[in-house]
Structure 1
Amino acid sequence: MEEELDPVAYHPSSRQWEGDSENSRQSSQPCSETYMIGFVLANIVGLQYYSGQINGREMVGLIREPLNPHDKNAIKVLNTRTEQVGHIERSVAAVLAPLVDKHLIIIEGIVPNTRNSGNKFKIPCQIHIFVRLAMCSSVRSSIQRAGLVLILPSDPSFALSEAEVVKEKMTGREVKTLDEIFKLVDENVSKKAKMEAMEPPKQVIKSQLFQHQKEALGWLFRMENSDDLPPFWEEEDGEFINVLTNYRTEMRPEPLRGGIFADDMGLGKTLTLLSLIALDKYRRVGSSVADRNVAVENINDDKLSDRRKRKRSVVIKKDSEGQKENETEDDKLVKRAKEKIIKCSGIKTTLIVCSPSVISTWVTQLEEHTVPGGLKVYLYYGERTQQVEELQQHDIVLTTYGTLAIEEPSEKGPAKNVNWWRVIVDEGHMIKNVNAQQSRAVANLSARHRWVVTGTPIQNGSFDLFSLMSFLQFEPFSIRSYWRRLIQRPLDQGNKKALSRLQVLMATISLRRTKDKALIGLPHKTVETCYVELSEEERDLYDHMEREAKGLVQSLISGGRLMHNYSAVLTILLRLRQICTDMALCPPDLKSSTNIEDVSNNPELLKKLVAVLQDGEDFDCPICLSPPSITVITSCAHIFCQTCILKTIERSKSSCPLCRHPLSQSDLFTAPPESSDADNRGISSHNQKSSKVSALLKLLIASRDENPNTKSVIFSQFRKMLLLLEEPLKVAGFKILRLDGSMTATRRAKVIKDFSDSEPGEPTVLLASLKASGTGINLTAASRVYLLEPWWNPAVEEQAMDRVHRIGQKEEVKVVRLIAKNSIEERILVLQEKKRNLARKAFQGKAKDRREVSIDDVRTLMSL
């Protein structure tokens, strides 16, 4: 199976069972909808050769081991701590292994509670078999013909299936069902749900926090310092048991000490986190016993009351048995405090990982909110130290995902060799793909506390959360097999209870408040949809191209070839969307012909195609799930980042990770470099304004007539569209600025500063691309937002809006989305709502998970 794993290498974390066949084809896809057809009984053998232990009714990992020198069909068995226990007996492995290798089945194991104590060299195991619906009959026949007894749902013995969570007696008590377990955890979380505000240390933080920020600071602090057992763990008879997996240990598991800080964008998460970091330097004992128990590291004897000082001076005597007498509760508190000071003393450096555009935001926030010199900061980016000791001398080290990803293959990177006090992953949705190199880089860091910070923890679907669990090392959800069993598969199949499990899980480890709760008294934000009628010429071209596209897409779906022609389909969709915004976006040679030809053997057309794709900003590389920095199209017409696909074909078996077509470097086509402003001087010379541009100008002029000082931001995913807009806006009398991905960081910062200038006569319209403006910048000088096109991902639109609607905004914010009537854009809104529902309901409410653009989505988009 090794050659079938994800092209950018399977996540090597010891907290995952590697080789899950369901996810080995393509990292960007969640598990497919599979159904349990039954189970077989087998023995785990070879126990005497391995150290792993298994308890009764414990889930186990079943991993193909094709390179095993003794058995090419070997299936090894791991316990939930990834320790090998043994192998599945040969006779059963010989039947199942070929089906696993062909990706026809997924196997999951569980050891029943009734273990045969008569033979210490083997353990009975139920192997549950999952298949896609279309393959049920053929797989069932194949297993039965091979002589294995497959216990089907119609068989009376099926009631014994541990996968059905049948109640049984275990250690003299009733076994709880999974949903009963989640319900109990939910009740426990609710008991602790009261938020206690906490003040930041004034020695470092000079700004006044809002009440919701003080409460968040208290929550963050409590999560880091709690000695409670992690969620889903219980203590029983001197042992600690994970009630989901039945794993038992005599060692107390470490508290989670971190989580997901998921407050809405614009609620001041950065200042709250700076306050948390400041507490590492200046921490005072609070008034309550609970406060004192956790805030012990900076106890200052001079600030203790006279009464406590007198109590501390009591001589502690020992009786003949060595027991202490006359020791007050305060004495015990101080003693525990000193013990904790010893345990927690040492370096307390926080590593903050973010995108390059957000580094400047952290620097600005540090200057604005902290006392000069209060926190020592090091920028680990570009020219940087190679000395671990130098990093450890700072309170904060700022770095980027890219920097860590570059260092990931090397063992020498200093960031990898620091035992960080805290790692904060800002814009945490950047690690939504667990297999991407930047995700692996942050997951493999050593840290006492781990925080994911994002206003959009779910962007495409619930599988985004699995990568966050992996980073947080929140067992068992950081193990792919458990995530798939407990959350992903039930969600894919529309199981209502699965959504409630997801909600409980998020409640245990995340804090989420939204701006609609009036936490900070932000001015109101309204979102309007302005429907635009296409002109006669636009409508004729759109309808003609859509008819051609429908025919092609229908034939691809019927022939089962849609995913093999995924890039071609996305290109079709892109062209339809470009017509909705402005026909000038379509290259003339592509616009003039509606024939959608096979471009795999046409290098020149491939290069033109990649240039079109590069102009849009909402395509993700299927390997790293991020917008490609350098877009590449393969000869088999699939889109990737240049870095991702080059790494793929460096492997001994070079092939496309989507269709397995053989690839070499000569089969990769890159776009020409982005044009400079000088190269685009003539781009806005066309005289005919599109219907959307005309509608936009009317809205802008009406806003200006109402208040000449009102500032507006116009977002488009097409850089070329921003250039096309410049001339008509200038003709209409608007002073404009432009912010796009072709600009240097310095130039972008100057544009933002100039736009924030409130002096009369300064620019009032900012043309902004999502690539340069979607995250990490402050555009509160504006109070109007115009979205020229809808994006597949509603979270991206919300990030754009929240550059304007955030702390610091004084005016009511109006957002206008321009949507072409009777077009693909209206259907994109339907898909957006599906994704928005899941993200919303994960924190409070049930929706079937979706990722990216599925076949059903394509049907919806093409009205098929």
Structure 2
Amino acid sequence: MEQLVAVITEKRNIGLTLIPFYVDVEDDNYLTLVEQATDDHIANKRYPFSPSEKEMVKLLNTINEQNLFKRFSKQKNLKLFFEKLDEKYAEDHIRPYIDKKISKALEIIALDGTPVYYKNPKYSRLYKADRIKISPLYDETLFSFNLDHTGLKYTLKIKKGDTYFGLTNREILEVTSVPATFLINNQLYRFENIDSKKFKPFTRVNHVLVRPQSVETYMNTFVQTTIRNHEVEAIGFDIMEKKVAMRPILVLEKDLSHNPIFTLKFKYDQKEYLAGTKSEVFVDLHKNKRRYQFLRFKRNKKKESEIIEALKNMGLRNISESQYLPIDISPEPEAMLNRLIEWINHHFSELTYNDIILHQNGFEESYYTGKVKLEVGYSDDNDWFDINAIITAGEFKIPFHKIRQHILKGKREYILPNKEIFVIPEEWFARFSDLMHFVEVKGDKMLLGKMHFNLLDKDKLNEVSPDWQNKIGQLINEGNGRMLDTPEGLNAQLRHYQQEGYTWMQLLNKNRFGGILADDMGLGKTIQTISLLLQQYSNSEEKEENTEKPEEQLNLFDSNIVGFNQSKLPATLIVMPTSLVHNWANEIKKFAPQLKVYLYTGTNRVKTKEIGKILRHYHVVLSSYGVVRNDIEFLSNYKFHYIILDESQNIKNPGSKIYQAVSSLQSDYRLVLTGTPIENALVDLWAQMNFVNKGLLGSLNFFKNNFAGPIEKKQNEEKEKKLQQLITPFILRRTKEMVATELPPVTEQVLLCDMTEDQQKFYDREKSGIRNELLKAVEQTGINKNAILALKALTKLRQVANHPVLVDDTYKGNSGKYQQIFEKLDSIITEKHKVLIFSSFVKDLELIEKDLQAKKLKYSKLIGSTLDRSKAVDEFTKNEDCRIFLISLKAGGVGLNLVEADYVFVLNPWWNPAAEAQAINRAHRIGQTKNVFVYKFISADSIEEKIMRLQEKKMELADTFITTNNPLKDISDSELKELFA
């Protein structure tokens, strides 16, 4: 019958070892060794192993000769390994490894009952009489100490039942050294926490004597350790068992690399122990009246575990068994220290609740570690919010403004009156950094302009000033609240989004804020602004009639002096590019004729510091950027009601003279209009926003460093969100796509373009010569006989109205119409729209082409001489970068499908409006999903405007224009004279 046993035997070079064997047990006196049990046997089920037997076999196979050779040898084979094995190396490295495995295997055997035998190396068999007894429990020891005047005597005995025996003069076989395992008289003694070296002195003598001069050192080391780990009998000194309270201590100190760290200790009695100490028992030594007293107590492992778990729940993690750091710690030493202090302050209440004591060690400065409380409150004061913020740190109350500069400079350490360093929580920098840039400190208060309301906590603000929140709510929600009724007398029906814009501007006005109306081109920024001004002046009319006439007036409406500004409000100044002055005047006259307009333009304008005596009689003053820049010394003396800038991207450069000029103007309110608030960089936005709400975005340098730089480099999404938060209430932008459902399929607008000074002189000279010659011929032979001459005259004046170069290659000046064409074009390209540009004159398109090439803008061109029409069309329709299509009316007026475009420019309308309609239909046709905007450019005070006015005045003439390409058919002499008047 075969049986699995464990055999203790001696091997050359490695000493006693334990080997699993199969044995034959047929004989009554001895057992025959069959073979060693191996891991392969377990895999092949060589024997019906129990789980514990499998574990025992695997453990002992790790210390067989072959596996020891694999683990520890650098030799080529097993024979060389053992031949060259150094005795000290084997003792220091191999033997501890073997002892560890044998001890674990014996623990399994002791519990499982596997038979163990000792095999004498001289014999080949195992004798049943050599079976070894093993107790399932570890054996215990007794240290006996006797202290008297001769010194300290001590002995070590093994406990056997209720008796103790020593090792002197006994035959002992040491199976393992650490922990100690002895074989004595076929009994195996296993010890848990003691090594064999402690026993060795007592195999030769009954006791050990420590001389008096060494007693104190011995008591502090060996005896204290022994009392902690073993049963001790004491004579001449005291050992007292006591239940001792535990206090956790969290120490802020430096580690071996001089980096700050938390060290967790547990204090029992008067002594501190590092967390993670293995011993279950602590011993403190006291010397009282020359008598030694040892206080022995058990650790409160449950309470220690609870403390460790509490620290982890507060966000600490183990670096070692006793060292901790916050989970989100920075690797920089200075930042680490601040983070640790901040962690303490933040969790001070929890630390106190868990009775954790805080200590600092190894720092030159003393840091405040205690509860930190921040109380913030607001109060409403006219144009300001008072911010009352108090920090409570222990006994000290600190007004928040005291740390304002620390927040701005990123400095975290603030010195308290007692010289302790208060570490400002990192969260405060993120929470208050932007706010601190905009507050103004007065005494112990911080004042914040109301335009920065979006930086305040909305819930707290609502508690203090619910009315304020109601007033500004629609600004934040972009006018999604109640719509205000448009002013009485407005000759227009506002679309819904335009009414939203009007309401938004009214809300800005009521709260004394400025704003940027940044709707796409063509969405009616002008009509929304006119609605605002009509409401402002209509609501401020004085009851007693003011009949005083203006000292001088230079506007288009000289014939009507009734209805001048009788309100309580000063005039409003609207500044724009020169080319838009006529359009504004006409739009105001068309939609709000009640508003009296003063044109502050031209070389004959009044220049005086008392200009206000004239301006105050008018509701609206129209002027250009150039005039305002040149006349700022006069205009800056008058305080306007509103200053409104149209095409406000003209002031995008904060260092420009025009920006400085408009900024120095006086007004109660400010507003800017632009389709492209940002043309090149975020600084464009700063310039316009700073004009309407000075200081909203801080200084230019602050804006560049804190917003523009990080955002444009794509480095900081948080900054982008913060900027959006700041500007959202004060900028309203709607694109065509956003309001597409409210727009008609085609929106047409006539743009009156003032001619440049050179162009005007050229036009007047040509008109004078043509007029005299033509009228003389008509008087002599009648209009029908001179139709061709009249048509040539009209065509020539139309060309000059467009650009004098069309009739005179030597002309060096500019064209007012061209300036406005390119202003509109720049906006369209910036907004990534596509545009068709139609002209009756090929040379006209060639002039524009030249400028497009200079600006390096992609375009396509289709004229009569174009050989490959499909290539020109494909370039425009399929190339995303090609956004401009130059088309002559004759070549492209019909037969094209260009639904990619949503803007159409008609540079010089043809006599027959049907031809214009055909051109517009290139973009507005089946397949078009976008709304189409059509701009017709008309030079002011030119033949083009005269024809347009006659069309409005005389429907019969309009019919003529619609039904024929000859506008002179059936026209009277007086009508012809009116055209050339």
TM-score range, shorter chain: 0.3 to 0.5
Q: Which has the higher contact order (CA 8 A, sep 6+)?
A: 1
TM-score normalised by the chain length of structure 2: 0.32
Between structures 1 and 2, the one with greater strand share:
2
TM-score normalised by the chain length of structure 1: 0.35
